[in-house]
Amino acid sequence: MLKKALFIVGLYSLTLTTQAQTKSSFKDWAKTPPMGWNSWDCYGSTVTEAEVKTNADYMANNLKKLGWQYVVVDIRWFVENDKAGGYNQTDPRYVMDEYGRYLPYVGRFPSAAGGKGFKALADYIHGKGLKFGIHIMRGIPVEAVKRKLPIKGANGITADQVYSTELQCQWLRDNYTVVADKPGAQEYYDSILELYASWGVDFIKVDDLSRPYHQGEIELIRKAIDKTGRPIVLSTSPGETPIKNAAHVKEHANMWRMVDDVWDIWKDLVHLMNVSKGWYAYSAPGTWPDCDMIPLGRIAIRGERGKDRMTRLTKDEQVSLMTFFTIFRSPLMFGGDLPSNDAFTLSLLNNKNILKMHKEGTDVKQLFMENGKVAVTSVNSKSGERYLAIFNISDKETTTVSVNLKELGFNGKYKVKELWSGESTKGTEPIFSQQLAPHSSKVFSISK
């Protein structure tokens, strides 16, 4: 009997140790900024399994070797009768199990039939050497509360005992707030993360966490992920995460949104550059301020805003967007339909010099943002070469952007390579200047 008791105590201790190790190591799951595809910009809330697979196939064939790996099914995969161009909030029909946990709608995800959830789709994506992700809204389903469904593992506690109508999401009313300190609250999040882990989910984007900042629910989610024992990257979204909560989000999430949705409008990028000024210091292996999705290529096939189109950004603007996202070291989640890419769009995603900067850059800093001119710099962690991105964000005038290279450690001869074109030159002048048309940019590696 004593041996049995000692075995149980040892097993319990091992479980606690494993959970602690998992929590302490979650930053190891995204040592470099995650890169992938998300269905939102092109398919809104109506993406199908076939469309997800087609995008996964493209990624495996064209982008995987460059580090692109996540395939993410965005919002409302559990609603039978949702619509393009917004959400059906009049008479939505939800799919969920007996514990109030959403399940994929088999009309759009046929492999989910028979209670399989996303397991078969995740297996397909894993078979391509990629990783699988999903989007959820924070909180507990309104439908589960109305039906007083039991929470799995909560000893008889039901959904109507852990919710509040306060701070319910204003733009989508599927869920109520989970009151973090109520009995059953942790068990609810444990139950849904346990389900997602059983499907093989590698990435979870949790919406409506940032404005206002839902500290209690973020902590519940962090604990629930850790308990699964599966390395699931956590992305918090959307809105402008308050800078006062930077230390907290950095200790609980792998990536967090800095702004609302970024669309194919130039002012969205300028706004992002402004907001990002407060976040440079918080980029680190495993924890990344997030510029949002990349609205390039073919978007809005059945999306939220506008009609089916190729991005409205000019080529110069597209290059500027990708230059900023990559030197800033934001996670890269492409929003366009990958199989619809033209050669130019693909060139924005497969430039090895740019992706090397994105992967290996460190000590990212803004040098200045004034008079329509922006300069951002970083240092390659392996080679020591200096990266320098310069932008003309003004609307009308070609301008000269100048940087004093002495301030970056260069005094004498240096080599310069423009990363997008691959063109190389040499120089000695301390003031490095380039003429840029409105909304255009250039990015260089500089070495001695």
- The DSSP secondary structure of 325-350, one letter per residue, reads HHHHT--EEE-S-GGG--HHHHHHH-
Residues 6+ apart with CB under 8 A from 94: 78, 79, 80, 102, 141, 143, 174
The domains found in the chain, sorted by start residue, are 26-350 (3.20.20.70), 368-447 (2.60.40.1180)
User: Residue 238 pLDDT > 90, yes or no?
Assistant: no
Q: What is the pLDDT of residues 24-48, one digit of tens each?
A: 589 999 999 999 999 999 999 999 9
Cα–Cα nearest to 47, from 302, 237, 246: 302
CB of 203 within 8 A of CB of 233?
yes
User: Residue 2 pLDDT > 60, yes or no?
Assistant: no
Between the alpha carbon of residue 263 and those of residues 200, 268, 312, 318, the distances in Å are 30, 7, 9, 11
Distance CA 152, CA 44 (A): 30
How would you classify the pairing of strands 131-137 and 203-207? parallel
Read off the pLDDT of each residue in 161-181 and give the average, rounded to a whole number: 97
Mean pLDDT, the chain, whole residue set: 94
Residue by residue, DSSP assigns 228-258 as HTS--EEEE-SS---GGGHHHHHTT-SEEES
pLDDT given for residue 216 in this prediction? 98
Cα–Cα nearest to 73, from 47, 112, 100: 47
User: Residue 22 pLDDT > 80, yes or no?
Assistant: no
Quick one: tokens of 268?
């969205």
Q: What is the pLDDT of residues 123-140, one digit of tens each?
A: 999 999 999 999 999 999
φ/ψ of 425, rounded to 5, equals -140, 175
